Structure 1
Amino acid sequence: MMNEDILYQTLKQRFGFDEFRPGQKETIEAVLKREDVLAVLPTGAGKTLLYQLPGYLMAGSVLIVSPLISLMQDQVDRLRQRGERSVVMLNATLTGRSRQQVLKNLRSYRFIFASPEILAQPPIKQALRNCQISLLVIDEAHCISQWGPDFRPEYLLLKNIKKELQNPPILLLTATATPRVQADILQKMDLNYERIKKVIRSVNRPNIFLAVDRVANDQEKRKHLSQWLHQLGGGGIVYFSSRRLANELAGELAAATGFRVAAYHAGISTIDRFRIQQQFMHGQLQIVCATSAFGMGIDKDDIRYVIHYHLPGSLESYVQEIGRAGRNQKPALALLMYAPGDEQIPRQLSQIELPSQIVVEKVQKHELPSQALGPQAELIEFYLAHGWAYAKLYTMLKKRSQLTERQLRAMLDYVNETRCRRAKIMRYFGERPVEENVCCDCHQNDWQLSDLKLPTPPALVIADQWDWQKQLRILFAKESKSG
């Protein structure tokens, strides 16, 4: 077993910390003993350390599978900012000679980041087989259960990747997974629930005050949001389900409040997303109006509040997103705004329509174009290409629909809770509720912001105090040198 002194020396020398956060040391020790590990640690628990520290103590390469390019880029940037050159990200932007050079020298990289989709490509798999993969990391592992049957079916192939790489130890990381989801993740990865090491910490974040603002309609909701932000000041994220509304309200709120506000979503260019993310991290932006594309991997510890303008589709998503507030352990606010009928948006977003068996069979026989399969054509073709019969696909999608409806009902139960919202969340995740004083608006329905004792809003940093363009040039220069 690794000497404990070496662990603490590496922690200090490489990362600048004196102590491990709860769950970190236990997980790292299991990884270094080459155990398979499922780590369910709350947002802000420092999950990147769980594979980065072992990466410096193990021979070979660490392969990190991540769901979003922005999330991978953030981790790559952070490693490079600390002077780590032996890191690479495999994605669709890597083409031509650069791609050939990277794949040729892939075994020389200490940290290799990749999406599930790119791992399905034969040249990538061949290059990885020539590497010594000492650890396979699945970041945001709940996606195996949540997205596998949905719009990221490549997650279902990760169990094959593990076998093709000669079964390296695996580290599954997530912030939110109910006992059912934990079991589903392990089943889809062909892992034994009894034999895998499980490091599970409570989802409870006692410093976050939980509240719901019930309004009559969207017009009233807009008015209330502006009022909340006037009172709260900067240092917050407002989540939307609609890119259009994120754009629209970012402009409205900036004009109404005088704060620096920007919209962030997948429809914005990569360079603009990087700029907005960095400006928010460094205090040049006070509020971000975002879709769920924003937040994964954002290590900003002084976010004072998270507001949801639209109803999330599940408590899993909600808990993960509100967990981005109050990482410094100071008081923070999670506010969910709700108008009657809001549940229709996540319901519509989660619907997957399967065409008739006749249409599917005609597409398979090339008697109809693949477009005849409808908006989910790519998803359906994936399953058909992997040998799924129509009846099996129909059954799976029906079960998925039933599950998403149950998740949405649990979210509505949270909205309608009258006793304790924190207890509702903890019971949902299979935990025993804790007795706390005023932890949500159910305990104090006439609560005021002044009751929460939120930290003072951070001062706005003027542009020339932090030159994001210079930082971007530095990062790209490092990338070109390391590539």
Structure 2
Amino acid sequence: MNLHKALYEWFGYSEFRMGQKEIIESLLKGKDVLAMLPTGTGKSICYQLPALLSDGLTLVISPLLSLMQDQVQELRSNGIKRVAALNGMTSSDERDEIIQQLDHYQLLYLSPEMLQSEWVVARLNRVNVCYIIVDEAHCISHWGKSFRTDYRKLAPVRKRLGNPPCLAITATATKLVQTDIIQQLELNSVATYLYSVDRPTIAQHVQEVSSNQMKLEQLSEYVGSLTGPGIIYFQTRKWAESTSEYLRQQGHNGVSHYHGGMLHEDRLLIQQQFMCGQLQLICCTSAFGMGVNKSDIRYVIHFQPPLDLESYLQEIGRAGRDGKRSVSILFYNHEDLLLSHSMIQKDTLDEFQLRTILTELSQGHFLSEPEERSICAAVHCSDTAFSIVKHELENEGYLYKNDWKAFRVEDVYPLVKQKLDEHVSVIEDRLRSMWKWIKTDQCKREMILRYFSEELVNKPEVCCTSCGLRVEDFYKHEGSDQRSESNVKDWREQLNLVFMKGQI
């Protein structure tokens, strides 16, 4: 099989990127694979190409609903039609149609929750599932960021489907998380392809700013001076919206905001405008970026620090995918640490909250999603905390699928409380590592690599704040033409439309 020829025919690329070919060859040989590839290095090719070369169905498990839709749309626009997505955004009619025609598809993207449906798994069991891909595989680990309890239930589903080869793929995972992924997915004789998380073309600048108002003023200066396009990340939706408006009031054009609370159609429009160069700057929460394959992003700014180094690396990795030098800038002050702690507290439950939830669940009857949401809202419980409570009750045998067994609150309270405390403790440990990195005078790049059990072999000339980085070196050159190729294309297309209208 000529993989280079297949790569060109299906995707138009003449060469594989780092790690892609080796991962694909291992999958085609029927091996289980654990792969860690940095953000922006083309992880999707690693499973899309084997899927297109197979005679069966490839399942792609992802927690990112918007990314699923984006990849399905992109594949279809490239002429690959036998692809679909099943998740909470899929209408019931469309879901029924996909399930009834499973043998028609080559690629099916699913949320992990969808694989807990007995009806879906039973139907999948009637077709040839040739590969199972676990994207964002760190979600399976209690020690990784974005822990999702439904990821822990994938191994039994895989067994029911005949144990097809599995690719677990992620951009960031510590040694502990890598081990947990292999154990939880029950990968056998696993082939591992672990590449450095380092992005040497992205300089890392960390800057203490005394107040949020000073942050806004510094941000406006950077936005006006840096070569774009750019992304600014915020911890809250409110900050993303208000700062976007502030920058527009300061005279910065091509600025908009993006977060998970917006309508899907609005998010899709903003993403497309950014991709096409009609917008030069997005103020957003972490909801933006997954699947945004824009190669010329020149800077990423964090208005507040993320909760962990894994998120930081993933988010700055949206810059410089064209291989040209880019810069990441992180602001911080004491208020940011307080904000981070308050966000972590959302996943904690005091005794009253936990006992109230357990009392509602202990009655031994099935609760619908609206009823569960009502319980969470009544006690101000986060989705993550509620899912951990349910997961531990499942482990104890009180819940199987939709079948609840009655139980005494006192019998389960100590164990569930312990698991919730362990979850919060892990998040707090990662937050401490984040702030230790922020505060260090050592080389930022060396320290972040040590966190992932790596060593810095070749230090780039332009490295980080501790190594003398000057943000001014990334400023626009006076008189230079900063229009991107996409902007030029957009301008020409609009001009063509004007002439066409004149001919009607």
- TM-score in terms of structure 2 length: 0.86
Match of 1:444 in 2: 468
Tell me how far apart the structure 1 counterparts of residues 395 and 174 of structure 2 sit (CA, whole Å). 30
* Structure 2: tracts of 5 or more residues without a match: 365-370, 397-411, 495-504
Report how far residue 441 of structure 1 moved: 1.5
SS in 2 for 1:135: strand
Pair 1:134-2:140 in alignment: no
Aligned-partner Cα distance in 1 for 2:179–2:413 = 26
2:457 is the counterpart of 1:434? yes
SS at match of 1:237: strand
Identical-residue share of aligned pairs (%): 39
Distance of aligned partners of 1:266 and 1:225 in 2 relative to their CA distance in 1, 3 Å threshold: same
Residue 429 of structure 2 corresponds to residue 422 of structure 1: no
Mapping 1:328-407, distance limit 5 Å: 328-351=322-345, 352-356=347-351, 358-359=355-356, 361-366=358-363, 370-371=375-376, 374-376=380-382, 378-379=386-387, 382-383=390-391, 385-388=393-396, 389-407=412-430
State the match for 1:93 in structure 2.
89
Give the Å deviation of 1:355. 4.4
Distance in 1 of aligned mates of 2:488 and 2:394: 52
Q: Structure 1 residue 152: deviation in Å?
A: 3.1
Query: How far is 1:190 from its partner?
Result: 2.6
Q: Does 1:50 align with 2:46?
A: yes
The alignment status of 1:175 with 2:181, answered yes or no, reads: no
2:305 alignment partner, one of 311, 322, 327: 311
| Counterpart amino acid of residue 157 in structure 1 | K
Paired residues for 1:12-27 under 5 Å: 12-27=8-23
How far the C-alpha of 1:57 sits from its partner, in A, is 1.6
Preserved CA contact (<8 Å) 1:42 1:323: yes
1:170 Cα deviation from its structure 2 partner: 0.5
The offset of 1:435, in angstroms, is: 4.3
Q: Distance in 2 between matches of 1:364 and 1:52?
A: 41
Deviations 1:233-285 (A, max 9, x none): 43000000110110111111122133211111101100011101111011010
- Superposition RMSD in Å: 2.5
What is the distance in 1 between the residues matched to 2:426 and 2:481?
41
Change (3 A) 1:227 1:453: closer
Deviation at 1:79, TM superposition (A): 0.4
Q: Using the alignment, how far apart are the partners of 2:88 and 2:274 within structure 1?
A: 27
419-428 vs 115-124, which moves further: 115-124
The residue correspondences of 1:96-111 to structure 2 (distance < 5 A) are: 96-111=92-107
Q: Equivalents in 2 of 1:146, 1:312: separation in Å? A: 18
Cα 1:340/1:381, change in 2 over 3 Å: closer
Query: Does residue 198 of structure 1 match 2:192?
Result: yes
Identify the range of structure 1 (244-253 vs 447-456) with the bigger mean alpha-carbon deviation: 447-456
Offset at residue 386 of structure 1 (A): 1.0
Contact kept? 2:138, 2:181, Cα under 8 Å: yes
Contact preservation (8 Å) 1:211, 1:336: yes
**TM-superposed deviation, 1:451:** 5.9
Report whether the alignment pairs 1:159 with 2:141.
no
Contact 1:176 1:316 in 2 (8 A): yes
| 1:122 is aligned to 2:118 | yes
| CA–CA separation in structure 2 for the residues paired with 1:250 and 1:91 | 31
The AA in structure 1 aligned to 2:76 is: R
Residues 42 and 202, structure 1, Cα contact 8 Å, conserved in 2: yes
Correspondent of 1:320 among 314, 321, 329: 314
* 2:432 alignment partner in structure 1: 409
Normalization by structure 1: what TM-score?
Answer: 0.89
State whether structure 2 residue 255 is matched by structure 1 residue 261.
yes
1:480 corresponds in structure 2 to: none
Q: Kindly indicate whether the alpha-carbon contact (under 8 Å) linking 1:226 and 1:256 is maintained by their aligned counterparts in 2.
A: yes
Show the counterpart of 1:479: none
The CA distance in 1 between the partners of 2:160 and 2:32, in whole Å, is: 16
Shift of 1:203: 0.8
Q: What is the distance in 2 between the residues matched to 1:20 and 1:115? A: 28
User: Aligned partners of 2:197, 2:237: CA distance in 1, in Å?
Assistant: 29
Residue deviations 1:165-206, cap 9 Å, x none?
1111101111111111111222222335xx211101111111
Query: Could you say what secondary structure the match of 1:316 adopts?
Result: helix
8 Å CA contact 2:60, 2:110 repeated in 1 = yes
Q: 2: CA distance between counterparts of 1:146 and 1:341?
A: 28
Q: Structure 1 stretches of 5 or more lacking a match?
A: 468-483
Q: Does 1:296 align with 2:320?
A: no
Distance 1:31 1:121, change over 3 A: same
Task: Using the TM superposition, give the Cα deviation of residue 63 of structure 1 relative to its aligned residue in structure 2, in angstroms.
Answer: 0.5
Q: CA deviation at 1:150?
A: 6.8
Q: Distance in 2 between matches of 1:56 and 1:380?
A: 36
Report the CA distance shift for 1:465/1:115 in structure 2 as closer, same or farther (over 3 A): farther
CA distance in 1, matches of 2:481, 2:139: 36
Residue 411 of structure 1 deviates from its aligned partner by: 0.8
SS in 2 for 1:333: strand
